[in-house]
Structure 1
Amino acid sequence: MNLRDPQMTIARMVEQVVARYGRKKCLTYDQTTYTYRVVNQKMNQVAHGLRKLGIAHGSRVGLLLSNCPEYIFTYFGVLKLGAINVPINTFLSSEEVQFILNDCEIATLITETALHETLKAVLPNLPHLKHVIVVDGEIPGTLPFQTFAKESIENPVVPDPPTNRDIAVIHYTSGTTGKPKGAMLSHKNLLAAIDANTDVIKISHRDKIIVFLPLFHVFTFVVCILATFSHGTRIVLLNSVKPFKRVLKALFRYRINILVGVPPIFNALANVDVPWFFRFINPIRVCISGGAPLTAEVLRNFQHKFQIPLLEGYGLSETSGGVCVNPLDGVQKPLSIGLPIKGVRVKVIDEDDLELGPNEVGELLIKSDSVMEGYYHQPEETAAVLRDGWLHTGDMAKIDSDGYIYIVDRKKDMLIVRGMNVYPREVEEVLSSHPKVAECAVIGVPDKQRGEVPKAIITLKENVTATEKEFRRFCHEKIAMYKNPKYFEFRDQLPKTPTGKVMKKVLKQEEFEKLQARMEGETVSHESAP
């Protein structure tokens, strides 16, 4: 199967995979296992049901769902019609969900009972939404998934089938202005990403992968679902990483040999007690970490304990997931995001757009067939990051003499909290809307569990008082929990430049000095202990 064929689409890929692996086990979820043939039939039922609701070529379908088989059935069913998936982060607030649904003018949304409350609060503000389909129950005014997806199991015949260049999915990523941007990924983009990632991990029909990361994340769906599906791999799906004991149990029960996670998962595994004989019966052949930087300590501890490769990669929503990774067969360099994967070109440039040499720090640029077509309805934002075929990532990096890439800083001022992108300006805009706030600044501070968390430094208006609890409640109502500041500090004034711009470097330096002082204090106490 040639995934780079200009005539290839995700729908055609599915047909070829099912023709080859139809009787093979494809998906296991909560004690139920589906073969590739049955999964394809479920996809077709969804496609027929959506078509009866008016979904056609170019229509946008929202997915506000936790991990479940219906997520996968719907995703592929949408693509068979030439329609477009819009995955929505299940951790978002009602207002954030409202923005995405309205921005994409979504008429049909697939969701679940637990998340319907998030939706119900903003239903009057969703003029385009006509159909809400619930996968796990019956709610007045909605359509049960089982009733909706009971049509023909045959492949749908569509008058306007999808092409290689049609948009397949729109992944919303936080914007530096506070408004999310929809990265449009075509069938061609996804197929290029599938081809490259299967090459990196050496995926085959003999493999078994466990999936517990959220399916709404581009990294999860491309690597764990699309790439593995394309090669007849067995997928074991969990609705959550918690309880973690269930993950460990599934690893043994299903003889999982590919494990994809985020740094906290591998940190937990590095510290969990396992029998001494585990390394001799452990079937896992490769682990992949994404979503956030992996510390050298976690990498070292994990590999020492399990004696299996742990590959760290780098990717963006705009690149259809991973574009760089430390090689499975080759040198793995600590703190590096590795080498460009198949079909990916990278370079580092200075402020004058001149390419820099080895170990010189500049902005990282990426060129690949997996790079997005642009941002939905945002031509100016698209033009700012896509120039001459190169994606300007906004990340500061360096490339060593062997071609290994190192991320030095995030030009976009972005934080990564539990693998989720958080932009300080977005949080600042929310805090600034509070009637008691004169001005504020949000910075990232280190956190053992989450890697990095937001801290808000606030100056209040004259003659008013406020409490930390008050601001926690306010943020909880306005933005997703992972974006909420963990720490609040009240000051009379913020450090500023002569032109009035808040000096975040000063605030960050102060936090660094506080951390250093705490570490020195802990060292002294340990040394003085009997």
Structure 2
Amino acid sequence: MLPMNLANALIDAFQRHPEKAAIYWGGEIITYAQIVEESDWIRNYLLKECQVNPGDRVALWMKNTPEFISILYGVLRAGAVVVPLNYFLTAPEAELILRDSGAKVIFVDDAMYKGANCMREVLPEVNLCHIKNLSAGPSETEQIMHTASVKDEDDLALIIYTSGTTGRSKGAMLTHGNLAHNVNSCVKTMRVSETDKIVLLLPMFHSFMVTVGILLPIKVGGSIVLIQSLHPPKNILQEIIAAGATILPAIPPFYRAFASSSLPELPLRLCISGAAPLPREVLKKFNRQSNMSLLESYGLSEASPVVTLNPVDGPWKAGSIGLPIHDVAVAIMNEQGLEVPRGQTGELWVKGGNVMKGYWNRPEASAEALCHGWLRTGDMGHADEEGYIYVTDRKKDMLLVNGINVYPREIEELIYECEGVKEVSVVGQIDQRKGELPVAFIVMEDGCNQNAHAILEALKPKLAAYKIPRKILFIGKLPRNATGKVLKTVLRKQLQA
């Protein structure tokens, strides 16, 4: 019997069906046996060539490729800790994370090699490995059993660096137990089985894809449909159809694109939107275009990351992030840490085996985020009488107008209802008399008129006067991070300029 941890979940799936398709990569099929062989080679390379010890950190800085998955499991099988790096980072930004994590090895692909090679002078102690130099030979089942990982649930598995939309990114420490708990919760809540094929199209460095796109299908012995080409969007649909994918986890911009086009009949049984708020108008348009279920979810890296999901069988509520997933608790708390009555706004706190160990090398930040087993999310929201949760806004994004709380998402949802509006983000502009004033940045659909007056007139019957944006600025596109979250800090800086 193998010790149950993330690495051994792969071995377990391999033993059950070694020749099954683990990954669909364009026209190529990669079996469980191949992933195990490659991860075995990675494990041996790390232990013998790089002198990696249990608990050492190993960074992965590469685009979405099948090798990412083999390397991830190879690192875990070596007893080391995976540090996925955002491939949109510049070399100096990546260097900060390598220094902070104390990474001993970094794996890169062609796209990242130049940046990583530049860091060799300042970080000579970090072993640089290009994935084109990887090789693997056949591994005997008996040998694989002998190299099973002995890590337990309290051992560190990943350090996921937060996107840093509000400042310097922090490394969320996720243990084998944290991630296994979240995977098991997703299995039960989403009813995932070995017949499912889960689409992986978002960046693999993001916790949403690590858990739902990689660990989840491997755990159940299912398949990963790794999308090879994102542009044009029809390529995604073609690969989904060709592989017979059943579950699509994606972000709102993808569903917005799908909702704006004519969709063919797809094999998907479940579409999940996460990583950023799903505007109601996008949900409505998608539902008009498709008979598939689009369920909004909620999570954060510090919670491994999935926290809530609209029920698979319904009822589904537009604007709601749904109910807590299996074996996870969510409470709406006030500033004193007391639960507020349903319907009242407070901060979302999360509790469960999925909650992180803390932030790497950040004891003060850890103490601020964790309280008696609860994770303070920094998100504001409320629960209705049936327990469905609604996120109002980030606590840090909330505006204070004349001493009254104003939630940008409320304004944004109403602006989305205006004809021709493609995207919108509301931020606060400092005002000496009123504290802050709402300002709306709007992206219009191609060919639609930029009519600020019409938008403001449409808002007046629906919003209190102090919530009406004092300024509307039309821009070509909103600044976003790799997972689709709007960078409101960038918009605020534009107002200050």
- Same fold per TM (> 0.5)? yes
Summarize deviations over 1:1-54 as a string: whole Å, max 9, x none: 9xxx9x521122222221112221111214221211221111111111111111
TM-score by length of 2: 0.80
> C-alpha separation between the residues in 2 aligned to 1:61 and 1:331?
43
Distance 1:86 1:511, change over 3 A: closer
Distance 1:100 1:150, change over 3 A: farther
Q: Does 1:379 align with 2:363?
A: yes
1:383 CA displacement: 0.6
Summarize deviations over 1:465-496 as a string: whole Å, max 9, x none: xxxxxxxxxxxxxxxxxxxxxxxxxxxxx634
Confirm or deny: 8 A CA contact 2:262 2:289 kept in the other structure.
Answer: no
> C-alpha separation between the residues in 2 aligned to 1:85 and 1:156?
22
Q: Which residue pairs with 2:466 in the alignment?
A: none
Q: Does 1:134 align with 2:130?
A: yes
Worse overlay, 152-161 or 293-302? 152-161
> C-alpha separation between the residues in 2 aligned to 1:17 and 1:337?
32
For 1:239-318, list aligned pairs within 5 A: 239-274=228-263, 278-279=264-265, 282-318=266-302
Q: Which residue pairs with 1:50 in the alignment?
A: 46
Summarize deviations over 1:90-131 as a string: whole Å, max 9, x none: 1112221111000011121001121123334443322531x1
> C-alpha separation between the residues in 2 aligned to 1:37 and 1:17?
10
Worse overlay, 284-293 or 114-123? 114-123
Q: Which residue pairs with 1:351 in the alignment?
A: 335
Q: Which residue pairs with 1:188 in the alignment?
A: 177
Confirm or deny: 8 A CA contact 2:283 2:294 kept in the other structure.
Answer: yes
Segments of structure 2 that go 5 or more residues without pairing to the other structure are 400-414, 443-449, 460-497
Alignment partner of 2:167: what SS? coil
1:161 CA displacement: 2.9
- Give the one of 404, 411, 418 matched to 2:395: 411
> C-alpha separation between the residues in 1 aligned to 2:345 and 2:332?
7
Summarize deviations over 1:204-224 as a string: whole Å, max 9, x none: 111222211111000011011
Worse overlay, 384-393 or 115-124? 115-124
- Give the one of 426, 449, 455 matched to 1:519: 455
1:165 CA displacement: 0.6
> C-alpha separation between the residues in 2 aligned to 1:454 and 1:43?
46
Worse overlay, 248-257 or 305-314? 248-257
> C-alpha separation between the residues in 2 aligned to 1:82 and 1:179?
28
Amino acid at match of 1:300: K
Distance 1:452 1:119, change over 3 A: farther
> C-alpha separation between the residues in 1 aligned to 2:175 and 2:398?
26
Amino acid at match of 1:64: W
Q: Which residue pairs with 2:225 in the alignment?
A: 236
Alignment partner of 2:397: what SS? coil
Q: Which residue pairs with 1:80 in the alignment?
A: 77
- For the aligned residues, what is the CA RMSD? 3.0
> C-alpha separation between the residues in 1 aligned to 2:345 and 2:310?
20
Distance 1:522 1:359, change over 3 A: closer
1:309 CA displacement: 0.7
Distance 1:448 1:188, change over 3 A: farther
For 1:7-406, list aligned pairs within 5 A: 8-52=4-48, 53-129=50-126, 131-136=127-132, 144-146=133-135, 154-155=143-144, 157=146, 161-175=150-164, 178-274=167-263, 278-279=264-265, 282-406=266-390
Q: Which residue pairs with 2:471 in the alignment?
A: none
Worse overlay, 42-51 or 309-318? 42-51
> C-alpha separation between the residues in 2 aligned to 1:303 and 1:159?
46
Confirm or deny: 8 A CA contact 1:111 1:135 kept in the other structure.
Answer: yes
Confirm or deny: 8 A CA contact 2:308 2:321 kept in the other structure.
Answer: yes
The share of aligned pairs that are identical, in percent, is: 35
> C-alpha separation between the residues in 1 aligned to 2:244 and 2:187?
20
> C-alpha separation between the residues in 2 aligned to 1:383 and 1:314?
23
Confirm or deny: 8 A CA contact 1:358 1:398 kept in the other structure.
Answer: yes
Alignment partner of 1:90: what SS? coil
Alignment partner of 2:151: what SS? coil
Amino acid at match of 2:372: D
Confirm or deny: 8 A CA contact 2:7 2:149 kept in the other structure.
Answer: no
Distance 1:317 1:240, change over 3 A: farther
Confirm or deny: 8 A CA contact 1:349 1:363 kept in the other structure.
Answer: yes
Alignment partner of 2:220: what SS? coil
Alignment partner of 1:251: what SS? helix
1:454 CA displacement: 8.6
- Give the one of 427, 431, 434 matched to 1:495: 431
Confirm or deny: 8 A CA contact 1:166 1:186 kept in the other structure.
Answer: yes
Equivalenced residues, count: 431
> C-alpha separation between the residues in 2 aligned to 1:109 and 1:308?
40
Alignment partner of 2:282: what SS? helix
Confirm or deny: 8 A CA contact 2:8 2:148 kept in the other structure.
Answer: no
Alignment partner of 1:273: what SS? coil
Confirm or deny: 8 A CA contact 1:49 1:150 kept in the other structure.
Answer: no
Summarize deviations over 1:233-281 as a string: whole Å, max 9, x none: 121212452232211211221222211211111111112124xxx44xx
Distance 1:400 1:516, change over 3 A: farther
> C-alpha separation between the residues in 1 aligned to 2:157 and 2:294?
30
> C-alpha separation between the residues in 2 aligned to 1:80 and 1:452?
43
Confirm or deny: 8 A CA contact 1:44 1:156 kept in the other structure.
Answer: no
Confirm or deny: 8 A CA contact 2:321 2:388 kept in the other structure.
Answer: yes
> C-alpha separation between the residues in 1 aligned to 2:398 and 2:103?
28
Summarize deviations over 1:317-346 as a string: whole Å, max 9, x none: 000011101010121011000000011111
